[in-house]
Chain A
């Protein structure tokens, strides 16, 4: 079974631009979560989608948004990029996201904002 895939793997953008990252979950997984990883903050939860609906949202500004498609693939969008948005963005999928449900992570997209 293929793992979680994320595209692109690396991205360089300029301040003020917007970016869209893509995540394809493991086949059959319906929940997709997004995390931002920075050296000082660890992994911080952005949001989680299940069956095309955002179920949970972390404490990030509205510039960060996402969506999920009917095939469970998910995209994350960041508008008006800031230097502080430079980070590794990880997505994780799980079957249903309930008790004892493990999350499987993709390799991440490394975003650099200059």
Chain B
């Protein structure tokens, strides 16, 4: 039972353009959402997070949007850079347990 879903396994974007990664969830008890970035042969690294009481959080080129009514989370990267090429996981927390999506592989084309 996948409570956090990333329906796009891969995404390709031109350098300088916007990358939008999407995530849907089913559990209305999730209170905290995060995005992680993962390079091959490395563990995921924390990127940005958002509390369920907010609808937007921004950190430099990265912005996370939360639409609670739609149970939808998105990560915007502007402008995209080749170094952003990685697998991105969204995660959500409920009752001190984190649930991860299956990941979206982002390729930024120079």
- Indicate if A49 sits at the interface (CB-CB under 8 A): no
Q: Are B96 and A92 in contact (CB under 8 A)?
A: no
The majority secondary structure among interface residues of chain B is strand
* A18-62 to B contact mask, C-beta < 8 Å, 1/0: 000000000000000101000011111100100000011010000
How many residues does chain B have at the interface if contact means C-beta atoms less than 8 Å apart? 25
Complex-state Cα separation, A108 to B45, whole angstroms: 12
Complex-state Cα separation, A49 to B96, whole angstroms: 12
* B32-71 to A contact mask, C-beta < 8 Å, 1/0: 1010100001111110010100000000000000000000
List the B side residues contacting A103 at CB < 8 Å: 46, 98
Interface residues of A (CB under 8 A from B): 4, 33, 35, 40-45, 48, 55-56, 58, 90, 92, 97-100, 102-108
